[in-house]
A = this chain, B = another copy of it.
Amino acid sequence: MLEVSQRGQNMPVSPFRKLAPYAEAARLQGKIVYPLNIGQPDIETPPAAMAAMRSADVRVLGYTHGAGTESYRQKLAAYYQRANLPVQAKDIIVTTGGSEAILFALLTCLNPGDELIIPEPFYGTYTAFAIAAGVTIVPVTAHIENGFALPPLAEFERVITPRTRAILICNPSNPTGYVYSRAELESILGLCHAHSLYLLSDEAYREFCYDAPYVSALQLAGAEQHVVVVDTISKRYSACGARIGALVTLNQQVYNAAFRFAQMRVSPPGLGMLLAEAAADLPESYFDESKAEYQARRDLTVARLRAMPGVVCPRPGGAFYVLAHLPVDDTEAFGQWLLESFSYENQTLMLSPANGFYQTPGLGRQEVRLAYVLNRTDLDAAFTCLEHALLAYPGRTEPLPAAGTNTTLALTL
């Protein structure tokens, strides 16, 4: 009998796409659906970078070096150096998005059956990469009560086994928006030293820190042998479709092995690399505007959510997500209900149920991830929908607020 592989059967449907068919149906019914479910920034891709890509003199769009063009790696190294990371071009492998960097990191640092510790909630797609690489994810749970800070080291130590090879963090975190402090990073790197583990650091959102300067794992003392950074231009320059990322490490053995995996697919996307090279030249002030915009959205998001009775929303320091607790029985059912059975002034919203971000069964059922990647007007309208929806949803788990007791609600109703 012909059957697809076990790993093919095990591969999860993307948690971001589960509600997609319902959203499509809602749109076909003429509803406006605000997509707060996916981290697709609405900010314009830098026109100067697009223009440079378009005007590049390309007669034959050929393969490049497997680690990316020398010119782009030089400029990317300069970008890191401006951020005080001790990175040279020779430490960089340009990858097809951050995705490929994650895959190469797992293939390079872990053998099939090895264990990878990740604080949960975590980016749901890590599960897919782990299945593809034959690696077992061991979660350590972070909690909403302290804003999803790094769990105590003892929690990590409790799950370390002889098969543990690495710890993966996402900093700033997708899906929580939490930004690890230098002290937290030092403590987790210390643990990696003590147990001979790699520290894989997904720094996709490095430019989006609102309350304190960003600290990269590569800036820590003792990072050389242990740290592998995965990075991407997707969010930084609002260029998700370019599919340009990077694996960065000062560990020569890791670099060499990852490079052999990179040679497998000959070279990263050439047109995207032209765009990325021009973007790497943008002045640091480029981020001022987009960061200010995201910060304003973050503030709006937190304010609106906190004003809704029964909603718990930490104030995330980075990325463009919040992970909030909602007073509902099940956010997956609620998300589907929002699209199928609810509308407010013919509008509704799409969110990411947080169960897709937890590996431990049962966790996250009352939590959602919301991406603040819409302009503030739309974002505000989306939250007004959410506010009304939480009052109308049959599966609400907390008593409705008494009429007139909640001023915010009174204002917006």
0/1 interface trace, chain A 30-70, chain B, CB 8 Å (1 if under): 00000000101111110000100111001111111010000
Name which residue of chain B comes closest to A244, CB basis. Answer: B269
Chain B residues near A63 (CB, 8 Å)? 38, 40, 240-241
Contact A111 B45, CB 8 Å, known A99-B266, A128-B264, A241-B61: no
Contact A61 B4, CB 8 Å, known A13-B260, A243-B96, A270-B242: no
A132 within 8 Å of B (CB atoms): yes
How far, in whole Å, are A58 and B11 apart by their CA atoms in the complex? 32
Chain B residues near A6 (CB, 8 Å)? 111
A219 within 8 Å of B (CB atoms): no
A267 within 8 Å of B (CB atoms): yes
Contact A265 B64 (CB under 8 A): no
Task: Give the shortest distance, in Å, between A166 (CB) and chain B (any CB).
Answer: 10
Contact B264 A132 (CB under 8 A): yes
Chain B residues near A66 (CB, 8 Å)? 14, 17
How far, in whole Å, are A212 and B2 apart by their CA atoms in the complex? 32
Binds B, one of A156-164, A250-258, A344-352: A250-258
Task: Give the shortest distance, in Å, between A112 (CB) and chain B (any CB).
Answer: 6
0/1 interface trace, chain A 6-23, chain B, CB 8 Å (1 if under): 111101111001000000
A88 within 8 Å of B (CB atoms): no
How far, in whole Å, are A13 and B99 apart by their CA atoms in the complex? 22
Contact A264 B129 (CB under 8 A): yes
State which size class the interface on A falls in. Answer: 35 or more
How far, in whole Å, are A219 and B9 apart by their CA atoms in the complex? 27
Contact A112 B112 (CB under 8 A): yes
Select the residue from A2, A14, A58, A63 with max chain B CB neighbours within 10 A.
A2
Within 8 A of B (CB), among A98-151: 99-100, 103, 107-112, 114, 125, 128-129, 132, 134
How far, in whole Å, are A309 and B78 apart by their CA atoms in the complex? 54
Contact B61 A50 (CB under 8 A): yes
How far, in whole Å, are A44 and B59 apart by their CA atoms in the complex? 6
Name which residue of chain B comes closest to A44, CB basis. Answer: B59
Contact A269 B266 (CB under 8 A): no
A225 within 8 Å of B (CB atoms): yes
A271 within 8 Å of B (CB atoms): yes
Contact A109 B5, CB 8 Å, known A14-B263, A265-B96, A271-B275: yes
A239 within 8 Å of B (CB atoms): yes
Chain B residues near A7 (CB, 8 Å)? 107, 111-112
Task: Give the shortest distance, in Å, between A149 (CB) and chain B (any CB).
Answer: 27
A80 within 8 Å of B (CB atoms): no
Contact A243 B257, CB 8 Å, known A2-B198, A264-B125: no
Chain B residues near A263 (CB, 8 Å)? 13-14, 17, 125, 128
A contact residues vs B (CB 8 Å cutoff): 1-9, 11-14, 17, 38, 40-45, 50, 53-55, 58-64, 66, 96-97, 99-100, 103, 107-112, 114, 125, 128-129, 132, 134, 165, 196-198, 225-226, 238-243, 251, 253-254, 257-258, 260-261, 263-272, 275
Seed contacts A2-B196, A14-B263, A271-B271; 14 additional CB < 8 Å A-B pairs:
A4-B257, A5-B107, A5-B111, A8-B254, A13-B263, A61-B241, A97-B266, A128-B260, A132-B261, A241-B271, A242-B269, A242-B271, A243-B270, A272-B272
- Identify 12 residue pairs between A and B in the complex whose beta-carbon atoms are under 8 Å apart, listed by A's number: A5-B257, A11-B264, A40-B63, A61-B240, A63-B241, A97-B265, A107-B132, A242-B269, A243-B243, A269-B269, A269-B272, A271-B271
